[in-house]
Structure 1
Amino acid sequence: MFNVLGDVNWIAVPAAFIAVLLAGLWFAFLFSKSYNISLGREPSAKPVSSPLFIAGPPLASLVITLTSAFLMAVLKIDSLANALVFGLAVGVGYLVANTVTIAINPNFPSPLKYSLISGGYNVIASVLGSTILVAI
């Protein structure tokens, strides 16, 4: 199974990663007020900027993109239709489910709202990244 690293489309990986990052910025801009409310903050609250806050999400997105590229090579996903199905399966089945699991605790005042916002981004990012991985 690990001999598929040569089958990974290494040219598409950075493109998919950049697209996922841009989608994250767009999503953060579009849903910043709702996101803050879901966390019990004032709608106009600004996040505390720290190295972890700045580097953490891009690094996690890179790991997700690399993992998707690897799994797509293992599963021999090379068509747009199969990439869409894969992106939806990973987005809903893993990323959204994990987001809901994390949000359902006493520290999240609106776990379902948070899950819809963050989960929505995760599905979009997964589908976008997966389609780019086969399109290039």
Structure 2
Amino acid sequence: MLQKISKISWMGVVLSLVFYSFLGWLWFTVLFPNQYASTLDKLGLIPANPEPIYLYGPPLTILPTIITSALLMVLLNISSKKAAMEFAFIIGLGFLVANTFDIAINPNIPHPMAYGLLVGCFHMVGIFVSCLILQALSKK
């Protein structure tokens, strides 16, 4: 397994993390801030200066997903753009979107379907582009 970990493109991991983090900022603060707040019944209640955990937490939680995806891409020998897109689709729907809806369907999320759709789409875009970055920078 250590041999496989050494084949991960760590530059790809870093660039994917930067992209995913930027996408999160763009998605939730520029493109869809009101829609996101509305899914939580927090319209007009999101603080202008959020606590630091809301800024550094998401990159820290998505990093294991990116590293795991990079390792799986090595183990599965995903070397073409087409294979990377197929892999991203499977990982995105099978893990990220499914988990997002699982989180959404609890009593603390007032609009679970809207939340799941908005956040699930964010993760689909994020993992899709991340897998393309990982494939493009993979060690051949």
TM-score normalised by L of structure 2: 0.90
Supply the AA of the counterpart residue of 2:13.
V
| CA offsets 1:49-95 (integer angstroms, 9 cap, x no match) | 22322221010121211111111111111111011011111111100
Deviation at 1:11, TM superposition (A): 2.1
- How far off its partner does 1:17 sit? 1.2
Aligned counterpart, 2:6: 6
Runs of 4+ in 1 over 3 A off after TM superposition: none
| Alignment of structure 1 residues 62-101 onto 2, 5 Å | 62-101=63-102
Asked if 1:15 corresponds to 2:15, the answer is yes
- Counterpart for residue 46 of structure 2: 46
- State the one-letter code of the partner of 2:62: S
User: Which residue does the alignment assign to 1:103?
Assistant: 104
The count of corresponding residues between Structure 1 and Structure 2 is 135
Q: Matches of 1:102 and 1:2 in 2, distance apart? A: 33
Backbone CA RMSD of aligned residues = 1.4
2:10 alignment partner, SS class: coil
Pairing of 1:21-32 with structure 2 (within 5 A) = 21-28=21-28, 29-32=30-33
2:127 paired residue number: 126
Amino acid at match of 2:50: S
Residue 2 of structure 1 and its aligned partner are, at CA, apart by: 4.5
Deviations for 1:96-131, whole angstroms, at most 9, x for unmatched residues?
Answer: 000101110111110000000000000000101000
AA matched with 2:77: K
What is the Cα deviation at residue 6 of structure 1? 1.6
Task: State the distance in 1 between where 2:14 and 2:106 align.
Answer: 35
- How far does residue 41 in structure 1 lie from its aligned partner after superposition? 1.2
| Identity level (%) | 34
- What one-letter code is carried by the residue in structure 1 that aligns with 2:55? I
Name the aligned partner's letter for residue 15 of structure 1.
Answer: L
Which residue is 1:58 aligned to?
Answer: 59
Structure 1 range deviating more: 125-134 or 14-23: 14-23
Q: Which moved more, 1:60-69 or 1:124-133?
A: 60-69
Q: Which residue of 1 aligns with 2:118?
A: 117
